Structure 1
């Protein structure tokens, strides 16, 4: 029996879930992440049935001198060479206690499922632009939500984590039971424990107004000027994102959008339409909108605003935090140039600030973000050979705004292969590294952006 076959046999003895190793039917499909730009060269894939399976895999790896990488679906993958890839997508428990404004979700539950369950109660969780990602993975990285300006990082709404530690032991971690680990798990990533479930606060959203306005790209300068002015005075309930967008020439897209070079604003407002439209009045003065989807909407439909892909694809992205927008805006538009931003799919500027910028004594490792805007550049690898062109385009635009960037990046906006050191100030990074050394001295647990 060779080593790979022996590994498969050993894992099948300790777990109830499905195990695949190299050579097994379906292994390549099982190891493939949602973002297929990354080749996950793992030794085995285990689809855990429950938290007991998770504990069994980690215990086995600790004894065998192997490492474990955990993924529900692979939206933020890494190569994970020779690790055991632990899939937690089958952990689907979801409970909402509306009277307490609390939800408990297991590791495989997506934001779509959470928002559907909370929406009927006039409550929301702190989800981001896509509801397809797991709530747990998003939160471990801090979690920049549509509603972060009002309620802060998603990680700071967590009440407790149910975990398996690097020795394979199960525990429930709270601010009282283990303040050090509780702090690290709220924004420090997946280096410190495998989270099998978490309990977090829900927030009031009795009314939600949101949607997207699309103009032809020639309106970009006007739209960006309105974006700067609107965000300069926006209340915390209002979040506005700016996009330069290149729609693909796909036949399934409606004619006005097919192949269109566009500029858009995406918006959410925790309140009614009358007040929202007053706050957004500058955009209504810009002529020639092609589409305007803004309306009163249920929280369950939050992902409809950006309409991001829900099927796996391959992408390359680059994020930067902007220290301001006055000079950066002109530099960005000049670098983008007239016409298309291709081969990029979009250039996004998110307005941050509000509660995200506030220092909290009881906050997690996510800390706070002083920078008021986030720049995000994304290219989709729709055909072979596009990598170099996308990288060059991203690099040229990043260079244009470099004088107006801080060098820090939110954890969940780190690109493939970027170190966690970009996401944390030196003091927080040093504290996370010390916790990792103490809690996992053998390096059993590996994350997509390790702190060491």
Structure 2
């Protein structure tokens, strides 16, 4: 990748930084620079001023104080997720090596350091009847996901992950290590529960665990000729589903390339992923309208250990190039199904690989004064769509395909976005005006100089 740096550190400052931190510091001109600055999303050409592989809280303290003294900004990016243009010119802290994990089953609390991934926490809790609120991928970090809200498989029953934060250990913009709780700093604690990472560099987080005795779920998949009937059944089941049931419907356009398994290569399918917090019999009764459409071509629905939860959606762990868009929908009725299929089935020549409709509702929708900045989500569905960009010339048609979906689904798209899925928008475009105003006031109090810069920066008031 060609490197055209937006900001660089003077050589003497690089040496100062290297003396002050124990972790490895990489800057432009170093042989490994273009590899070290890569994001998980390979099309995100992020250009920080330096990358620091921190070894612990002391390194974070030193880096933040260094940035403050020299008029720089600091960003955290544990494993490469969440890249946006806002990170340009910052000192990028790789906190992925901070993997301390402690579970207190008696109190129902887990303490996770900044680099702990969901697969690690899920494995630690598997078989305990307790769980965090993980999303679709086991590769994302618990901290990054939770700071942005956290849309979980179990969110219809328990709400967004951010609302289950008990405490946050962070290095504040002045370089002080703090433990923030509802009692110690109510406003900052509110902001950290869904308002993103713009208020400090998180060292560790304590999260409340929820009771989950058994998970029954998996993927049902059919040839695409059943798409309309499957999506109708999906809409029927989700119209009055209990909060314990989560369904995500997919239209999948598998590319005709060697790394895709032969049985699905070059073909379209419709699929429904599910989790049910309960036993097999209750779950199968709820899934019956889907099974009645036709015999699935693939069926992985079974009891799912928490440690295997990340396998249901079959999302890639390896970095990949692609373009993705996520929107919230006011509904998903017969008319919406027809509209989606006009841009998402064979014959449309769509360059996109995946179209996913997630059912939200349940506890996601319920307002509670005890919630943090994540608040609640009124919309009952989420639509995700995107495509691979394996070569530069594919970017234009994939972007056009994304625009076509947005145009086709415009009457159901509400305009609200979710921080976990936003690509480069400032925080002002992600939150309701009253929430954004409150976040800006808190940013002005704790970080008026903008020493901390997240992937969705908050403008000080």
Q: Give the alignment's TM-score, normalised by structure 1.
A: 0.97
Distance 1:346 1:168 in 2: 43
Distance 1:7 1:78 in 2: 25
For the pair 1:133 / 2:143, whether they are aligned, the reply is no
Distance 1:4 1:147 in 2: 48
Deviation of 1:204 (Å): 1.4
Do 1:4 and 1:21's aligned partners in 2 also have CA atoms closer than 8 Å? no
1:81 alignment partner in structure 2: 88
- Secondary structure at 2:411's aligned position in 1? helix
Distance 1:184 1:40 in 2: 26
Could you list the runs of 5+ residues in structure 1 that have no partner in the other structure? none
Distance 1:7 1:24 in 2: 15
For the pair 1:47 / 2:58, whether they are aligned, the reply is no
Do 2:352 and 2:386's aligned partners in 1 also have CA atoms closer than 8 Å? yes
Do 1:148 and 1:154's aligned partners in 2 also have CA atoms closer than 8 Å? yes
Distance 2:22 2:386 in 1: 39
2:196 alignment partner in structure 1: 189
CA deviations 1:156-177 (Å, max 9, x no partner) are: 1110000111111110000000
Deviation of 1:437 (Å): 1.7
Please, which of 420, 439, 445 is the counterpart of residue 432 of structure 1? 439
Task: List aligned pairs for 1:86-101, cutoff 5 A.
Answer: 86-101=93-108
Do 2:273 and 2:313's aligned partners in 1 also have CA atoms closer than 8 Å? yes
Q: CA 1:225–1:347 in structure 2 vs 1: closer, same or farther (change >3 Å)?
A: same
Distance 1:7 1:261 in 2: 54
Do 1:245 and 1:341's aligned partners in 2 also have CA atoms closer than 8 Å? no
For the pair 1:71 / 2:86, whether they are aligned, the reply is no
CA deviations 1:126-179 (Å, max 9, x no partner) are: 010000011000000000000000010000111000011111111000000011
Task: List aligned pairs for 1:298-447, cutoff 5 A.
Answer: 298-326=305-333, 327-339=335-347, 342-415=350-423, 417-447=424-454
Distance 2:71 2:222 in 1: 56
- Secondary structure at 1:277's aligned position in 2? helix
Distance 2:99 2:40 in 1: 18
Please, which of 225, 231, 243 is the counterpart of residue 224 of structure 1? 231
Distance 2:281 2:56 in 1: 47
Do 1:205 and 1:299's aligned partners in 2 also have CA atoms closer than 8 Å? no
Distance 1:49 1:341 in 2: 48
Distance 1:181 1:314 in 2: 35
Distance 1:260 1:209 in 2: 28
Deviation of 1:205 (Å): 1.6
Do 1:324 and 1:371's aligned partners in 2 also have CA atoms closer than 8 Å? yes
Distance 1:341 1:149 in 2: 35
Do 1:261 and 1:340's aligned partners in 2 also have CA atoms closer than 8 Å? no
Do 1:352 and 1:372's aligned partners in 2 also have CA atoms closer than 8 Å? yes
Please, which of 58, 62, 65 is the counterpart of residue 56 of structure 1? 62
Distance 2:177 2:30 in 1: 30
2:15 alignment partner in structure 1: 9
Q: CA 1:252–1:395 in structure 2 vs 1: closer, same or farther (change >3 Å)?
A: closer
CA deviations 1:277-301 (Å, max 9, x no partner) are: 0011011111242101100110110
- Secondary structure at 2:179's aligned position in 1? strand
**Residue range with higher mean Cα deviation, 340-349 or 104-113:** 340-349
CA deviations 1:180-205 (Å, max 9, x no partner) are: 11000110111111111000111112
Deviation of 1:303 (Å): 0.8
Distance 2:64 2:228 in 1: 53
- Secondary structure at 2:417's aligned position in 1? coil
Do 2:37 and 2:51's aligned partners in 1 also have CA atoms closer than 8 Å? yes
For the pair 1:22 / 2:28, whether they are aligned, the reply is yes
Do 1:224 and 1:242's aligned partners in 2 also have CA atoms closer than 8 Å? yes
- Secondary structure at 2:323's aligned position in 1? strand
Do 1:407 and 1:422's aligned partners in 2 also have CA atoms closer than 8 Å? no
1:117 alignment partner in structure 2: 124
Return structure 1 stretches of 4+ with deviation > 4 angstroms: none
Instruction: Compute the RMSD of aligned alpha carbons.
Output: 1.4
1:203 alignment partner in structure 2: 210
Give aligned pairs, total.
Answer: 450
Deviation of 1:407 (Å): 0.7
